[in-house]
Amino acid sequence: MKTVRIPAEGYGANCWLLIDEESGEMVLIDPSPTGEAFEGFLSMRGLDKKSLKYILLTHGHFDHITGADEIRDISGAPLAIHEADSDFLTTDKNAYKYFFREDLIMRPAEIILRDGDVLYLGKNAIKVMHTPGHTQGSVCFFVGDNIYTGDTLFDRSIGRTDLVGGNQALLEDSLRKLISLDRDYNIYPGHGSVSTISKQIKFNPYLYGGNL
């Protein structure tokens, strides 16, 4: 399985495309590009949009969901979000109005996620860990040695908690879970560079050398 970053249209958000080379199936995490940009990206690489199996959201903030409806329309893939963030798609809670003074409303998700759920990309298990704090329904997706952390954990930073659903105490609990893992996972965050858990314990000032 390989992970490819798809450039977003704005807001500096990372969109991750997971490709299972054995089955040809794909999963898209945090669909920030437009449908046109996504389709063009696949076309340039000879990938079939109908091979997209799932569209997964780490949380419901607007900068990670703006392409969700368009990409659903062109691929037919279902959208999945944690139950605690599900109404971010259909109400003004997704922070778009906070910045732009208007609503961003989308269709409901086809799949509602809960902690411990497992989806499959080919033979690869995608495990869902509920990591509230940045939002109430923030999750991380575990696939092999990789974690797709959304806005819970970044390279040398962490998610903000001053928007709707944010809770600093919950975020700190979630971060403790991540730095207590028994493997040095690669982290693919919602913004910024790819890193590892061990590097974050050592260099991330918010994790206090692993003593959060």
Return the CATH number at 6.
Answer: 3.60.15.10
Per-residue pLDDT for 121 more than 70? yes
pLDDT in tens, 107-116: 999 999 999 9
DSSP of 51-94, one letter per residue? GEEEEE-S---GGGTTTHHHHHHHH-PPEEEEGGGGGGTTSGGG
CA distances 102 to 67, 97, 168, Å, are: 17, 5, 27
Q: Which pLDDT score, from 0 to 100, does residue 102 have? A: 66
- What is the domain extent for residue 80? 2-210
With H, G, I as helix, E, B as strand and everything else as coil, classify residue 164: coil
Q: How many CB atoms lie within 10 A of CB 86?
A: 19
Q: Which pLDDT score, from 0 to 100, does residue 98 have? A: 60
With H, G, I as helix, E, B as strand and everything else as coil, classify residue 178: helix
Cα 175 from Cα 178, distance rounded (Å): 5
Label residue 100 by pLDDT band (50, 70, 90).
low
Cα 119 from Cα 112, distance rounded (Å): 12
Per-residue pLDDT for 192 more than 90? yes
Label residue 101 by pLDDT band (50, 70, 90).
low
Per-residue pLDDT for 97 more than 80? no
Per-residue pLDDT for 12 more than 60? yes
In total, how many domains does the chain have? 1
Q: Tokens in use for 70?
A: 């368009």
Label residue 32 by pLDDT band (50, 70, 90).
very high
